[in-house]
Copies of this chain bind each other. A is one copy, B any other.
Amino acid sequence: MTEFPQLDGFRGAPGVVRLIGHRGARGVMPENTMEGFAFTLKIGVRAMEFDVVMTRDRIPVITHNHHLLNAATRDAEGNWLTGPEPKVSKLTLAELRQFDVGGLDGRTVYGRRFPDQAFMTGLRIPRLADLLEFARRPEGSGLLLLLEMKSEPAAPGAKGDRLSIVHEVVREVRDAGLQERTILHSFDWSVLEECARVAPEMPRSYLSQLPENTDDPGEDSQKSVAPDFDALGVSIPRAVARAGGRMWCPYFKDVTADLVAEAHGLGLLVAAWTANEPEDIEAMIDAGVDGIITDYPGRAQRILLSRGLRW
């Protein structure tokens, strides 16, 4: 099997559990912003998990959903968005850059989930290219990208359009020369199949979440594109391995020590998302995962240290 140097930054070892900043450090800094990524790297957490969506003018940008979240988005006058949430694929980059994504509306369920998140003004949705450029600069050295692609399930033209994000993203990563610091990552396993075809030089990470554990407010747009795990006929780790994946990213509530051991037996790395409460972080350590994706990287550092572990 090809050896991918970036996997070393995600691989656990005796005394080591890797930490991966979720959208930067969502518990502390506005999510999916350059400021959040810079903070996370600054505190010594090198790996970032973040989300890429395509604009109308076909520019990959870093934002979580196909629709901007009203709870996290202000207009050019600083007012919270209301009404139907704008769809990223219907807006140009210039239009998206009007919005301020520097804070959460504390009146919303989503805003109340992250009561310590700093409230900043004038923060813009980054292009993928902005993060790639940062990673190439001296202050971004060491940064590793767990790059989640959001396919567009409702796009006209079905599969072709839905997978076109792969081509744009791969081109930008290659242009930046960061293929050895990037893992391609998706809930949509057909997106990852396309990655295998067009970018075999980058390892792939397969996200999963069992339907019975889908209870996070304000979360995913991607459930509908995930495989039907009950219909796979094999365990999820085995399905990931069969698909040629090198990493499995289960929802933390779906993780068991047996599944982690099975994944390791298949040569996979396991990184669980998104563990924030101390007891959940502890449970992931106990289950033997390689990496923990968290909104609170500082807290996770401290829990690891309290158990004599590093990241």
A residues near B (Cβ < 8 Å) are 27-29, 35, 39, 42-44, 103-104, 106-107, 115-121, 278, 296-299, 301-302, 305-306
A48 to B252, CA, bound (A): 38
Q: Closest residue of chain B to A42, judged by CB?
A: B35
Q: Is the CB of A116 within 8 A of B296?
A: yes
CB neighbours of A107 from chain B (8 A): 306
Count of this chain's copies in the oligomeric assembly: 2
Most chain B CB inside 10 Å of its own CB: which residue of A44, A103, A121, A298: A298
CB neighbours (8 Å) of A43 from chain B are 29, 118-120
Neighbouring B residues of A27 by C-beta, 8 Å: 116
Choice from B106, B299, B306 contacting A305 with Cβ under 8 Å: B106
In angstroms, Cα B111 to Cα A302, docked, is 9
Shortest beta-carbon distance, A126 to chain B, in Å? 16
Whether A302 pairs with B44 at a CB distance below 8 angstroms is no
Q: Known interface pairs A28-B28, A39-B39. Does A118 touch B301 (Cβ–Cβ under 8 Å)?
A: yes
Contact with A106, one of B42, B117, B119, B302 (Cβ below 8 angstroms): B302
Complexed CA–CA distance, A116 and B104 (Å): 20
- Residue in chain B with minimal CB distance to A297: B118
Q: A44-B120, A120-B44 are in contact. Are A299 and B115 (CB under 8 A)?
A: yes
Expressed in whole angstroms, the Cα–Cα distance for A104 and B298 within the complex equals: 11
In the assembly, what is the distance between CA of A35 and CA of B298, in Å?
14
Which chain B residues border A104 with CB–CB below 8 Å? 302
Cα distance, A128 to B193, chains bound together (Å): 56
Question: Which 3 A-B residue pairings sit nearest by Cβ, starting from the closest?
Answer: A118-B298, A43-B118, A119-B301
Q: Quick one: closest B residue to A306, CB to CB? A: B106
Q: Can you give 24 A-B contacts (C-beta < 8 A)?
A: A28-B28, A28-B116, A28-B298, A29-B43, A35-B42, A42-B120, A43-B120, A44-B118, A44-B119, A44-B120, A107-B306, A115-B278, A115-B299, A115-B302, A116-B296, A116-B299, A116-B302, A117-B298, A117-B302, A118-B298, A118-B301, A119-B298, A119-B301, A119-B305
